[in-house]
Structure 1
């Protein structure tokens, strides 16, 4: 509560100090006022002029700039500014006439009856003209800058909300897609081996805890992500034949860093979906390396002509969304390359991610 009160009081203090400095320089700090005793009417005129300038400043900031200038009604804004300048000049002349100030000033500065110089009166008019224009210019600039800053902050907040919403949507797409495939595998296992199916359910429950708790935050540890991948591989191996060879290489030792949860799974899932065969020899190679602040992930799998594991055309929505997640979470901090037909008849995906 105290912090909020201090923050809300700062603009008020700035305005008070600004007007105090303005009044001291333009209304009080005049060498002639040090040498003679000016009549009270002079200070009345100066006080009225000061209040008029204050009114013009806030009328410009609260009405003219937002309602006219920023609403593309430039002509009316120019008319407003010229009207305010004319108002000041006419008000000064009216006050001088009402207070009989020229005659009083003539008695103060020219007591022997010499004529009060008209040229000096014109100089003061020009001075007030420039001062009013200066106040209008300052108030316009400050209000325009504040409006632009507010708009920039609003755009940034909207973009962040959009990004968070899109990431939540993408993760919601990835997680059910994975569990849909896994539950199908477990269902198939129940028809063959109950004990193996129980083991699979145990691993799946551990993986579900990871999804439920770790994906609630924006990042997780690389070690937990790798453990999740290992559980996934072991779960998938339960239904594979000896014709499939799976190789997993992880960093040793592992330097734990933060990474977006469920980011690596779509690459591995895609390899299992398109890179194994029940009748032909096949292999999947998953290599995770760390080089300084970078995490390099390489996933290769056997290429079968009857399968189309294209990153963009795959029926699985995980890989397409992963590319979108990378764009949102690691802009200009990742490199993703896909080779759909290597010389070794493999489908290869390589991700280089800067997590530093």
Structure 2
């Protein structure tokens, strides 16, 4: 028999159902304890009153005080709030004792050998007040323990998710390091140079060799120097220029750079690949690319802009891990330490990236 999806509760629904079952079980135990196993109907209001107050303590602590105060290191405010909560709950116990249903429940539950409630009000600040404070503190301890275990579980799940996400991102990154189209074009260009006996052939072979070495070996390090990344970028651009006849409109400014800064590898190449693929720079009359890389202190500023052809100009898919994947990679590698702004307007595509390497 097929099971409809609406029969299968989600995680939040399962949590709510579990809480309800636990409170029902606790209420049953409380009823059994108060009535000495006889489950008097008159005790139901007393049990409900106790459950409501204790549930209020539990969920106020786990849902408000701990997340808003303790988690934000506002310890003094949390302690004062706990004192107010415990005293307030104890007062609520005493103030509701004179309600008819609660009073009748107490009278019905008095053992024969004990005196019944006296007529009139009991003193609030009596032994029962202290007992109620201890019961409130016990619920507070249980709720704090529950919250701590839940937070630890969530943290473990988040860490596992992040590890898995990092692994998947790293795999995508490694797969994208060698762009087969770029490698094919580079080899094809070198073949053309060698066929014409160009003097550039040995130089370009050496550059390709250095690029492959950087992508496969040196790039396995956690971070690389900015100078190494710049060298790779220059080699990449040199290969892109081989297939362009004439003098393209290409402006490169990477002189104001502290090359000793350490940075995650292959962060800028996807944007540069994207510009070469979609600027139609081969059209030396209309296509253009502007690239700037500079540093100020420990911050790296990268800017690239390119022309957008009037007619849709499509090659293959955006190179490398793509613009969306590089966004994700930056969020993983430089959380709260980068700014990325990508805009497209007036037939101009621009990328501004700022990274704090500290």
TM-score, normalising length from structure 1?
A: 0.58
Are the equivalent residues in 1 in contact too, given 2:166–2:332 (CA < 8 A)? no
Match of 1:201 among 201, 205, 223: 205
Superposition CA RMSD, Å: 4.1
Are the equivalent residues in 2 in contact too, given 1:300–1:349 (CA < 8 A)? yes
Q: Distance in 2 between matches of 1:219 and 1:77?
A: 55
Which residues of 2 match residues 1-356 of structure 1 at below 5 A? Answer: 72-80=21-29, 133=135, 136-137=138-139, 140-176=142-178, 178-194=179-195, 196-252=200-256, 254=258, 256-278=260-282, 280-281=284-285, 282-308=287-313, 315-316=318-319, 318-342=322-346, 346-356=348-358
Secondary structure of 1:297 counterpart: strand
Structure showing greater radius of gyration is 1
Distance apart, 1:309 and its partner CA: 7.3
Are the equivalent residues in 1 in contact too, given 2:278–2:314 (CA < 8 A)? yes
Distance apart, 1:224 and its partner CA: 1.8
State the number of aligned residues: 255
Q: Quick one: structure 1 residues 76 and 213, their matched pair in 2 at CA, closer, same or farther if it must change by over 3 Å?
A: same
Greater alpha carbon shift after TM alignment, 128-137 vs 75-84:
128-137
Are the equivalent residues in 1 in contact too, given 2:257–2:295 (CA < 8 A)? no
Are the equivalent residues in 2 in contact too, given 1:243–1:278 (CA < 8 A)? no
Q: Per-residue CA shift, 1:258-288, capped at 9, x if unaligned?
A: 3221110011111222234445334322101
Q: Unaligned stretches of 5+ in structure 2?
A: 1-14, 37-113, 116-126
Q: Quick one: structure 1 residues 165 and 149, their matched pair in 2 at CA, closer, same or farther if it must change by over 3 Å?
A: same
Q: Unaligned stretches of 5+ in structure 1?
A: 1-65, 88-117, 120-124
Q: Quick one: structure 1 residues 255 and 215, their matched pair in 2 at CA, closer, same or farther if it must change by over 3 Å?
A: closer
Distance apart, 1:76 and its partner CA: 0.2
TM-score, normalising length from structure 2?
A: 0.57
Secondary structure of 2:265 counterpart: coil
Distance apart, 1:222 and its partner CA: 1.9
Are the equivalent residues in 2 in contact too, given 1:284–1:302 (CA < 8 A)? yes
